[in-house]
Every structure is written in structure tokens, then in C-alpha cells.
A and B are shown apart, each in its own frame.
Chain A
């Protein structure tokens, strides 16, 4: 069952096609990553999903019917460029953002107090936002995002500009909400984060979705001729070997693609024979980063549907 279905979304600004016929599904209960480099069209896609931008064409379907303005009430949104009213007090800020989502009253006040206590900000209730440190402002922003108990959490580049403590805090929040069965959608250009946290992804490049589906299946599909190794020594002898299709060095690990799936054992033998010390050998494994470089490196890449 899909919670959200994005169908043929298009958006142009003047001559620039920011999003060009984007389609993908976000399943119920998923942690979904919208992945792509800066300027690929992630934020525009997210804004269209939330009805902040009206798409030129296409639609977003929420559990079977087109999204309406009411969808916004079900969403907690953390934009990439975060901001709060500087002169507003902490408590008033939280109540205001809950109220525009249609939530107010004792329950929300109780929850706000709980969150403030948990984030050690309970004594700052009457402080103005501008008097808080940047880290504490971010915490208030998190609380404002989730206070109204949203069914969907949409995070645009959530980890950019966060200090390590807040990065961890946000990760905890995401996991908690995931465990409560909420749908979490985030956009990022950080492949490592996406790989660690997502179970479904859509990859976007130049406004086009070039890949989407479950992360496990994508990795299986792309990983079947791929070997991921960590080693000491020299592997330059592999360069002209007929069984090797490509070699990519990622620093810590190296991704090697062989011509046929069965040749991975041959590759291992070859490495040992040439006195390369193997620390890790992962056949049929591929990082999201490799997939991205492979697909986005090629401008004519076709949409791969898994």
C-alpha cells in the first residue's frame, strides 16, 4: 500500500525545467529518501508534494485520492532553510505553529512541555527566539515540526548545518516516528545517510527521476556484478584485465564491476595471487554512491524501475 504516489509532476521556472515528469511511490511506513545533487530538483519536488508550489502538470495522490490543502495538517515539515520569528517567545512560537496545523489546547501544551523538558529547554519558555543559541533554535524548530503529531514527516536536507548533538537528536526523532508507523520522507545529497536510513528511495537528476524503488532491491539489481573490497597493496594490475568492466576508488573502499556475475570468485583469486591483502570482500554489494555515479554520470540514463 502506498501512502503517497507522485505522478508525472512537472514544474518550470521560465525556461528552466526544475522538475520534469517525476513519478515515484512512497509506501506506508517507509523511510523514503529523495536523493540527488544540489539543484537536481529535490526541494521543488518536495514543495509540490506539499502543495507549496502548484505543479504545472501532474498530481500527488494521498492514499488513493489527490492531495488537498488538508494534507498540510498531517505533515511536519523541516525546510532546508530553517527560520523562526526572532522576536517571538519560545512558547508562543510552539503554540503558533501547532495552531496553524489545527492543533491547540491542553494536550498540545502538555506535549510541548514534555518535549521542552526532554530537550532541556523548559526554562527557556519565555525567552525570545533571538536570545537562544543556534543549536537551541534548531531544537525549537524540531519541536515545532513534530508537536502536532504529524502522520508524515518531510525533511529537506535535514542534517545540513546541524551540530553533532542535534544530528543525533534528529536521528532519534526520525527513528521514534518510524517506529510509530509514521511515513518519513527526506531529501539529501548525502548518499551515506540515505543508505543508512532509508528503505525506499528515488534518485533525481536534472529534474528527472532516474531511479526509484526499494533500496534492498535496487542494491540487489545493481550489485550482482559488483564487488566491494577493502585492501592493502597495489591493484593497478587489474586495469587491463578482460574480466573487469570498471574500477571506482571511494577512498576507504573500492568498487569493482566484473563483466559477468560468476567472475567475482575469479577476481578474488586474482587479488590473492598478486599478494593483495584483503580486509573485506563483499560480492554482490554496491553503495548508493556508486549507483548514483553510475547513473548520474551518464546523462542519457534511462529510468530504471525496480
Chain B
């Protein structure tokens, strides 16, 4: 790995960690357990700038750091979701290329992220089927909203700093 790539990825991990901790304090009216997923902006940028490995590295290290500095018990939820969502986005980007815009990628990542966490909640709590149905419908809609917002921000960043890609 060349030095520039290493430095860039480190900065992205740092920014993603800060975003992920900071967005819990944002005064946005929302249910407590919902997040916009702002840290995913950095995963998206790493994917567009480099590749799936860079994206997964940023997502996983960010998740671990945010767990250590935020709430450690929630790592059981955030870490697997970071792996599956970054992997999905990377895979879709590799297969579909430009046919999916960064917003499509962001939405896919958000949906997979939420459904992974639902699966973990199912494993821990043995959720009832009606709960799974209610939650999955709700989580798909919120992932759509969050995915569009983070995708738009990532696109805006690429637009104002085109040298990134």
C-alpha cells in the first residue's frame, strides 16, 4: 500500500469515527435507535476512490473505534452490519459499475446494514414473526431515507473535490 493511500484511508477512518459518534448528538427528531448513517459517506468515498477492500477496511475499523469510544455492547450490532453493508456496496459497484449511481449504492448499503442488525436482534431476542415483519418494513423505509441523504452528501463531496477520484 502506498503512503498516500494509507494516509487518506486513515483520515477517512478518523472522519468516519467522528461522524458516527457525532450523529448520535445531532438534534434531529428521531427514534433513539435510528441513525442517518453519516459514517457511510466515508465508506462510499473509499469505495469510489479505491476498491472494495479499502471500503471494507474503513467500515470495519470505524465500527470498532466507534464501539470503543461510543457504546461497546452495541458492537455486536454495528460490526457485522459494517461488514455486510460495505461488502454489498463493493460487490454491486464491481458488478454494476456506473449503472448504479452513488445514491443507489448508498441505499443498498443502508438496507443491508439495517437488515443485518435485524437478523442479530432476531438471534438475541428470538423476535416474533409479526415483529420481524413490522421492523423489516420500517427499517427498509428508513434505510431508503438515510441512504438517499448520505448518498447525496457523498456525491456532493465528490463534485466539489473531483481530484479524489
The answer to whether A and B assemble together is no
